[in-house]
Amino acid sequence: MKLHIDKSHYIDTNSPIDISIPLSDSNRNPKAWYVKQPRFTPVVTDNYVGSVKDGGAVNFRDVFFNPHGHGTHTECLGHITEKVHSVNKVLNNYFFNAQVLSILPKRVTREDGVVDFIITKDQLSTLSKETEALIIRTLPNENGKLSKDYSSTNPPYFQKECVEVILAAGVKHLLVDLPSVDRENDNGELAFHHAFWEVPETPNFERTITELIFVKTEIKDGVYMLNLQTAPFENDAAPSRPVLYQIKKELIS
């Protein structure tokens, strides 16, 4: 079905581009922050089993997982505030003008000899103005991102100064294929998170960060329409399913 954006452009709702990572109870599920793999377990009582293969009438399973550590999730400022604000209350619009941008993080050696890979302010020079959602694909773009255990790997992260460029472009929703926008071990500073949400000075309730997405290599850099949907959890973060649509030009006969 065609959904028109304006008189000359539309998206085809039959051609979605899903950039989320599915949640599974396999050891191939991605992990971060030292969590164990998710668990899907049948409910069992004295007279009932929630498993068809074990004699139950239906499959009826409890799911144990962590939104931040087990896959694609969207978070709000409640991630870093004393009061746990709900992303379900913050995110109430779901379609946004979006830009996909591929970046090879820069190799930087810290004073203590540790090598970091950092996304820097100057690497965002091609960010378009009036971009509501920015989707960052880090290079190299390997399929291993779909099943990686990121704990103690010091993944790439964003230079705090990137926030200036991102906000100047009008970005409210940042999506990345990393477990965090900040360095894995930064002694709790979380500089980018604080700058992006302007906490504690002027907390911004409209902006979100989505982490652990996966943008396939065949998806080209450029402008798209983003549909950002989250599970309705009353929590600072929730599992999410960001979906892109190519913006097409209407041919006038």
Residue 38 domain-assigned (yes or no): no
Residue 167 domain-assigned? yes
Nearest to 91, CA basis, from 133, 50, 153, 38: 133
CB 55 within 8 A of CB 169: no
Written as one letter, the residue type at 23 is: L
- Reported confidence tier of residue 253, pLDDT bands at 50, 70, 90: low
Is 198 contained in some domain?
A: yes
Parent domain of 18: 2-24+67-249
Q: Which residues make Cβ contacts (< 8 Å) with residue 165, sequence separation at least 6?
A: 121, 124, 125, 127
Structure tokens at 118: 């950092």
8 Å CB contact between 86 and 47: no
For position 74, which CATH number holds?
Answer: 3.50.30.50
Residue 41 belongs to some domain of the structure: no
For residue 39, the tally of other CB atoms under 10 A from its CB is 11
The confidence score (pLDDT) of residue 4 equals: 82
Residue 152's Cβ-count burial label (10 Å; 0-12, 13-18, 19+) is exposed
**Cα–Cα distance between 181 and 115 in angstroms, integer?**
17
- 142-146, 175-179, 204-208, 246-250: least confident range: 246-250
What average pLDDT score do residues 4-23 get? Answer: 92
Whether 57 is in a domain gets the answer no
Of residues 5 and 95, more confidently modeled:
95
Q: For residue 236, what pLDDT is reported? A: 98
Decide if 51 is inside a domain: no
Work out the percent of the chain whose per-residue pLDDT is above 90.
92
pLDDT at 6: 82
* Mean pLDDT of the residues in the chain: 96
Determine, yes or no, domain membership for 32. no
Q: What global pTM score does this model have? A: 0.96
